[in-house]
Amino acid sequence: MTNLEPPTNHGSPSAVGSVVAIRGSVVDVRFAANLPAIHQLLEADNGRIIIEVLSQRDANTVRGIAMTPTQGLARGAVVSAKGFVLRAPVGKVILSRMFDVFGNTIDGEPDIASTDVQWRSVHNAPPALTQRATKADIFETGIKIIDVLLPLERGGKTGLFGGAGVGKTVLLTEMIHNMIGHHNGVSIFCGIGERSREGEELYREMKAAGVLPNMVMLFGQMNEPPGARFRVGHAALTMAEYFRDDQHRDVLLLIDNIFRFIQAGSEVSGLMGQMPSRLGYQPTMGTELAQLEERIANTDNGAITSIQAVYVPADDFTDPAAVHTFSHLSASIVLSRKRAAQGLYPAIDPLQSSSKMATPGIVGAHHYALAQAIRSTLAQYADLKDIIAMLGLEQLSPDDRKLVSRARRLERFFTQPFFTTEQFSGIKGQLVSLADALNGCERILNDEFNDLPESAFYMIGAVDALNANAT
């Protein structure tokens, strides 16, 4: 299974059985005695094939999902019960390393010494309500449009919603970069069903940026069986819980992509023979997602703050996967293909996106009032766009023309050059403090920059850079 195989649980006697049926990744195994418990691991072909028990069919037969390819497995093959469930390695030695779902290192570096690592079950209960912190703190990202309009919660869950190619992964990697300066914690990146190319690029970028010493990466890439993709998120959470509960450190958990977790669960459910629910999703989708999401919490020891990319199938926000994910989030960041086509990066739609933190009691009365004024300006501009398209800007009243001018300047001010895209754009990345972002928005709303063209506000950091951009 792994070169860091954890010791067997002595309380669970090992058992030997034989394969009676194979259907893709689903394997039925018959045992004469000592029927393995749910979630226990089985191995066949000298450890090459690992199976997780998902149901007990009768007094002698279990049905499991293979977490490795089943090529070469045949009926009658000998299967042995490992005596323990899937576990993840924890400890300070896992920092700066990249793992697969079994805890194998996949970064090409020397293996971790087995004496320095602990192994913990990936099936943990969420923290009790009495252990959770009730104070709401803001988590600054250094990205203007997020910090001003969509403040993130420390210990909360944020979703990045968008279709293919609108910038979810770029925004995630930018947040990792921006956390280094004022986030004295650990970053854990969990790639669920994503491309191996993205994992390799991220590893190189993080190494070059010097942030790898405080980072752990896990990948269950898209060519792996659904069982492995389904469990890699639980393994990442087990590592995050170690740093929060044992090390008392804040953890930034980045998941790319939570839709692939739901998709893997759907594949597992279909292979297990469960009746599909609406649009082909598994009937247990809500339960499976909640078991993962509820473990992400802010406790007295520390906080796990999660930012999750959510692929939206065909840009349809009524899809059950998107709807179920929305219910767990404290902030929803919606990426717009239309804004991306206009070159407004990050392509965040400020009117569709929302945050539960944007209240006067949490961000303060001044910040709240400013954010509301910005939203009102952008919403009125959206209403005027049809009139402008049909009749032209000149047909608007003087007040409406001023409003359009403010809105267009705000839209461009909310663009921001990213550190992770420097090599493509040729523009140096910018990290902007909340105070600078609020100051810039307030001055734009007060018409201080009417003598400057709209283009001067495009791809700048704070408003101090305006003189350099004015043409």
* CB atoms near residue 137 (< 10 Å): 15
Answer yes or no: are the C-beta atoms of 117 and 90 closer than 8 Å: yes
Please report the sign of the dihedral spanned by the C-alpha atoms of residue 296, residue 89, residue 220, residue 10: negative
Helix (H, G, I), strand (E, B) or coil at 65: strand
DSSP character string of 212-266: GGGEEEEEE-TTS-HHHHHHHHHHHHHHHHHHHHTS---EEEEEE-HHHHHHHHH
Phi-psi region of 392 (alpha: psi -120 to 50; beta: other; left: phi over 0): left
Length of the chain: 471
Q: What are phi and psi of 162, to 5 degrees?
A: 175, 160
Q: For residue 337, give every residue at least 6 positions away whose Cβ sits within 8 Å of its Cβ, in sequence order, or none.
A: 162, 163, 166, 315, 347
Q: How far is CA 457 from the centre of its chain?
A: 30
Cβ-count burial 102-115 (b if 16+ within 10 Å, e if not):
bbebbeeeeebeee
Q: Which of 57, 195, 401, 443 is catalytic?
A: 195
195 is known as an active-site residue: yes
> 168, 229, 409, 412: which one is catalytic?
168
Residue 154 DSSP code: T
Helices H, strands E: what count in the chain?
A: 14, 18
Active-site residue, from 43, 52, 174, 194: 194
Coil/strand/helix, residue 29: strand
The C-alpha torsion from 426 through 428 and 434 to 439, rounded to 10°, is -80
- Give the span between the Cα atoms of 278 and 267, in whole angstroms: 14
Could you tell me the CA-to-CA distances from 371 to 179, 292, 328, 339 in Å, in that order? Answer: 23, 32, 24, 20
Q: Is 194 designated active site? A: yes
Active site residues: 168, 194-195
